[in-house]
Amino acid sequence: MAPSCVASVPIFSGLEPSAQEAIAERLVHRAFAAGEVIALPGDAPALRVVHSGRMRQSRASDTGVEQLLRILAPGDFTGQGAVLTGRREAHTTTAMSAVTVCQLTAADLAAVLREQPGVALGMLVEVSERLTAAEEQLAAITGQSVMSRLGQYLAALAASAGSDTIVLPMTKRDLASFLGTTPETLSRRLRRLEDERLIEQRPGGVIRVRAADALAAVQ
Partner DNA sequence: CGTATTCTTGAAGCCAGTCAAAAACGGTGG
Partner DNA sequence: CCACCGTTTTTGACTGGCTTCAAGAATACG
| Number of residues this chain uses to bind its own copies (CB under 8 A) | 46
Residues 6+ apart with CB under 8 A from 150: 179, 186, 189, 190, 193, 218
Q: Pick from its own copies, DNA, none: which does 184 bind, CB < 5 to 8 A by kind?
A: DNA
The rounded distance, in Å, linking the Cα atoms of 184 and 174 is 12
CB nearer to DNA: pick between 8 and 185: 185
Q: Pick from DNA, its own copies, none: which does 183 bind, CB < 5 to 8 A by kind?
A: DNA
Q: CA torsion 76→77→81→83, rounded to 10°?
A: -170
CB 219 within 8 A of CB 147: yes
Does residue 25 touch its own copies according to CB under 8 A? no
Please give the residues from 36 up to 65 whose contact with DNA meets the rule CB under 7 A: 65
**Of the candidates 60, 58, 84, the residue with the CA atom closest to the CA atom of residue 71:** 58
Q: Pick from DNA, its own copies, none: which does 67 bind, CB < 5 to 8 A by kind?
A: its own copies
Please name the amino acid found at residue 147.
M
Q: Pick from DNA, its own copies, none: which does 10 bind, CB < 5 to 8 A by kind?
A: none
Question: What's the CA angle centered on 98, arms 97 and 102, to 5 degrees?
Answer: 115
Does residue 21 touch its own copies according to CB under 8 A? no
CB 205 within 8 A of CB 190: no
Does residue 65 touch its own copies according to CB under 8 A? yes
- Contact with its own copies (CB under 8 A) among 44, 107, 134, 159: 134
- Say how many C-beta atoms besides its own lie within 10 A of residue 43's C-beta: 17
For residue 195, is it left (φ>0), alpha (ψ between -120 and 50) or beta? alpha
76 to 115: interface string for its own copies, x by CB under 8 A = ----xx--xx-x--xx---------------------x--
Does residue 98 touch DNA according to CB under 7 A? no
**Sheet strands (E) in 73-192:** 77-78, 92-95, 99-105, 165-167
CB nearer to its own copies: pick between 4 and 85: 85
Question: Taking contact as CB under 8 A, which single stretch among the options 12-20, 125-133, 189-197, 202-210 is the one that binds its own copies?
Answer: 125-133
Q: Pick from DNA, its own copies, none: which does 186 bind, CB < 5 to 8 A by kind?
A: DNA
Does residue 125 touch its own copies according to CB under 8 A? yes
Binding site for DNA (CB under 7 A): 65, 142, 145-147, 171-173, 180-191, 201, 203-205
